[in-house]
Amino acid sequence: MGRWQPDARARLQEAALALYGERGYEETTVAEIAERAGLTKRTFFRYFPDKREVLFWGSELLGRQMVAAIEAAPASASALEMIGAALDAAAVRFEEVREFAGLRHRIIASSHELRERELIKAAALAAAMAAALRVRGYGDTAAELAALTVTTVMHVTFEQWVSDPNQTPFQRLARETLAQLRAIAAAD
């Protein structure tokens, strides 16, 4: 097998998802993933540090796109508009991976270790967005609140979106969730 494998990363991800879904995450080895993808273990480790990270590969890109959306918002944007911009960026990314999102979600829910990893990724994402919001002039408290509001709305919306039989766009569901949060906050 040559050193260069077109789409090796995507093949490894698909193979890992399929095996985790069939046999369970704990029971699947890196060797089995590589074999299913028609690649070697060595190639696997060129792309991923371990079998857990296969499931979180997209989260760095997601985070960068959400932070970029905050950075690119107009100078006049309110904190709420920054929140909306970050959620719109997440929506674009989620629609791109909708095909695998449900299976990935079930695999993560099946493992304590994977759920922990997801919490850590969400906290890192919130910290990165809070940093971007501080650069945009928000104080520490407002920046943290807005960033955590994004991850809260994203998390709650994702649960609906991933199991929605009508395949409603993430963006629309996120707006409804944000509206519901606003209604809760606005109550007397």
Tell me which residues touch a copy of itself (CB under 8 A): 78-81, 83, 115-116, 119-120, 123, 140-142, 144-146, 148-149, 152-153, 155-156, 159-160, 177, 180-182, 184-188
- Crossing angle of helices 112-135 and 140-162, in 10° steps, is 140
> Least CB distance from residue 135 to a copy of itself, whole Å?
17
Using left for φ > 0, alpha for ψ between -120 and 50, and beta otherwise, residue 137 falls in left
Smallest separation, CB 116 to a copy of itself (Å): 6
In angstroms, give the least distance from the CB of 99 to a copy of itself: 25
The minimum distance between CB 19 and a copy of itself, in angstroms, equals 26
**b/e 127-160 (16+ beta carbons within 10 angstroms → b):** ebbbebbeebebeeeebbbbbbbbbbbbebbbee
State the minimum distance, in angstroms, from the CB of residue 39 to a copy of itself. Answer: 31
8 A C-beta contact, residue 87 and residue 153: yes
Please say which residue, 15 or 55, places its beta carbon nearer to a copy of itself.
55
CB of 177 to a copy of itself, least distance (A): 6
Size of the chain, expressed as the number of residues it contains: 188
Question: Residue 12: which of 22, 36, 180, 25 has the closest Cα?
Answer: 36
To which residue do tokens 């809760």 refer? 184
User: Is 3 exposed, middle or buried, given 0-12, 13-18 or 19+ CB atoms closer than 10 A?
Assistant: exposed
Tell me whether residue 8 or residue 87 sits nearer to a copy of itself (CB atom). 87
Identity of the residue, 106 or 155, whose beta carbon is nearer to a copy of itself in the bound complex:
155
Query: Do the beta carbons of residue 104 and residue 17 sit within 8 Å?
Result: yes
